[in-house]
Structure 1
């Protein structure tokens, strides 16, 4: 017995060092695994995840370690953090949803506001008050001065008729001649003020200044100073930009969905906060040259002259209307390869992600078919910041943890 006891004790003493080293090795292995759990991400691109420090392959920023706290699937933000992230919520419910079909269009000059300036008389352009295109012209502003012997002759006839009327006030023939001479000066572009000045000074002036009858912008200048022009010669073209035409292209199969006189919504990129209403005034019955498209046309107002011809315009045509559906602003829904989700404020400052399924969409809103209940407080601005913050703190995509 004593010999067996001695052998057992000796065996334990011999195995003790190997057991000790094995335990240390296992502990070291666990510590190493714990260290390998640390991962890194980009503050600007949270979809970038690596298991070691480095730089973001998208923007080049240094990767930062995750601040992991995966025990809870919610984010907690105080009031100052919510204000900084511009977090706003709404209470969802069922209402109407209007969908639109977007057409690509452009702004063009409204021909109804184009004014062609031509010479009323033959003569030499002594002075041009407008020297380049793009200048803004006000009504009554001088445009050009012309030397015209023909106009000087008409002025002399007017003064002679005025003298005859003064000498023979009761003669109806002289009164008619005087009236006809004044009317002829008006037809040649003389204003009432210029005719009254001629009658007061009783002196002809072959240098006559012509003014703008309407306001506008000089789009074309066809003459130069010192040039001789004939009666009716084109001098310049003025265009008014108070209203502009919108031309949009539609396919022939879609033409039947738009009625003449129907009100459409127009948005100019860069001025999304200034939508305009346009009446469909004209639908071209012929296809555009070289394209299987039909042209739709209407006019919109140009507030403060902010828009110029040639700008892109998006025309939205009503396509579908639904009643009693749950909808959210487009920015409230976060989408990725795993699906779509929104953020719900469960309690004050506590935000949780929720998977949703979407239906009909418009440029401004999206229908939510499943995933939400009436009365839920849903984040409508700052949702993407919550998504990024979740990945930074939890080290994982919220879609992997959520269930419908």
Structure 2
């Protein structure tokens, strides 16, 4: 009987032990200033354990801000490798190929005037314009065609000097030759001087003839298209103004209009007085024109003087011309990231209009380099990535790409010829992934 009583007492003590330990633990937590909160309602904070007055859940102890983070054994590092650092797949693989590739540069451009064939006709002497024989801009003129009649006291005096010598001192060849030369320098032609010597009568209105063949313009008109090469469009017009470029000496039927801001008439008028050296008219010889192209800065190094180029006209399907690069400008325009390339075009007999939009193509062979299909490289915007296969998995590696040729892309750095990469980099990435390229050798 006494033995049973002892056994019951021991059992009771065993049952009371957990409650004693819990009470001691609570006393220690309260002594340490522990706070308790509800997992579902963090606004509930108490200084002792209990239940949430909102949902009835047991309050849990809050972790202090300076509590140490749990340590992870070093043996678990392989479990912490990011999911986007390696991909297991069985897609097709390729190797970069060291080779030369036939490439092509495509350039947009516009037809413009050859500035070497633009001439200014100034007034060689002062006077009054008596009659104008050209009436509007882009009117075709021929060499020797009459442009205007002018009255000039200076020219009248020069004629009288020659007539005086011919009448009073016909044997003085030196003075007579000097008087003739003075008239030539003032713009008189040999025919006018001969007629003066024959008729022995000075002319008070002197005719000025064009020394060039081309199109006449007011000096204030800009003779080049104002539109950018990539957006230029052909201008059209009517009447018998500027013809096709082939009409520089024969008057073709095709026409083009002046720039929208250009004056349609001449600044000089009949009855106006002009001064010596004043620019009266401008003549443009358009039998040869320029094709000006914009080429990307990274492709300009492939072009030099004499490089063959094929030119097609956007407004004339099927029409092409063969020419060669005449000049690659050694400077960039302000705010531009492309170079200007100039090509000479023979416009005589061709339906070429100033301002026409054209496309130029240059074929060349690249140097020996590593090439891969463009699908094997993923462009992330700020870098390019290829998937390198190692130990049965694909790991992203940063690569530097160079020029492109059709479906091929040059690898400047990041890969070697014996590397094995995924043939389709896009296949390994979904639309919402971002590839972290890092050193995965450790």
Partners of 1:241 and 1:305 within 8 A in 2: no
Q: Which residue of 2 aligns with 1:117?
A: 121
Q: Which residue of 1 aligns with 2:282?
A: 237
Instruction: For 1:226 and 1:177, locate their aligned partners in 2 and report how far apart those are by CA, in whole Å.
Output: 35
Find the residue that maps to 1:124 and give its secondary structure: strand
1:201 to 175, 195, 199: 199
2:294 to 236, 249, 261: 249
1:135 to 116, 128, 139: 139
TM-score by length of 2: 0.48
Q: Which residue of 1 aligns with 2:316?
A: 271
How many residues of Structure 1 are paired with residues of Structure 2 in the alignment? Answer: 222
2:194 equivalent to 1:189: no
Q: Which residue of 2 aligns with 1:47?
A: none
Give 1:139 deviation, angstroms.
1.4
Q: Which residue of 2 aligns with 1:228?
A: 273
Residue pairs, 1:2-401, within 5 angstroms: 100-166=104-170, 169=171, 174-220=172-218, 221-304=266-349, 306-320=351-365
Give 1:285 deviation, angstroms.
1.5
Give 1:308 deviation, angstroms.
2.0
TM-score by length of 1: 0.52
Find the residue that maps to 2:354 and give its secondary structure: coil
Partners of 2:215 and 2:285 within 8 A in 1: yes
Give 1:150 deviation, angstroms.
0.6
Instruction: For 1:214 and 1:297, locate their aligned partners in 2 and report how far apart those are by CA, in whole Å.
Output: 24
Residue ranges of structure 2 left out of the alignment (5+ in a row): 1-100, 219-265, 367-404, 408-442
TM-superposition CA deviations, 1:159-182 (whole Å, max 9, x none): 11222443xx3xxxx211100100
Partners of 2:105 and 2:299 within 8 A in 1: no
Specify whether residues 222 and 106 from structure 1 end up closer, same or farther in structure 2 by C-alpha distance, changes over 3 A only: same
Instruction: For 1:274 and 1:301, locate their aligned partners in 2 and report how far apart those are by CA, in whole Å.
Output: 14
Specify whether residues 305 and 163 from structure 1 end up closer, same or farther in structure 2 by C-alpha distance, changes over 3 A only: farther
Residue ranges of structure 1 left out of the alignment (5+ in a row): 1-96, 322-358, 362-404
Larger strand percent:
1
Q: Which residue of 1 aligns with 2:416?
A: none
Instruction: For 2:350 and 2:199, locate their aligned partners in 1 and report how far apart those are by CA, in whole Å.
Output: 42
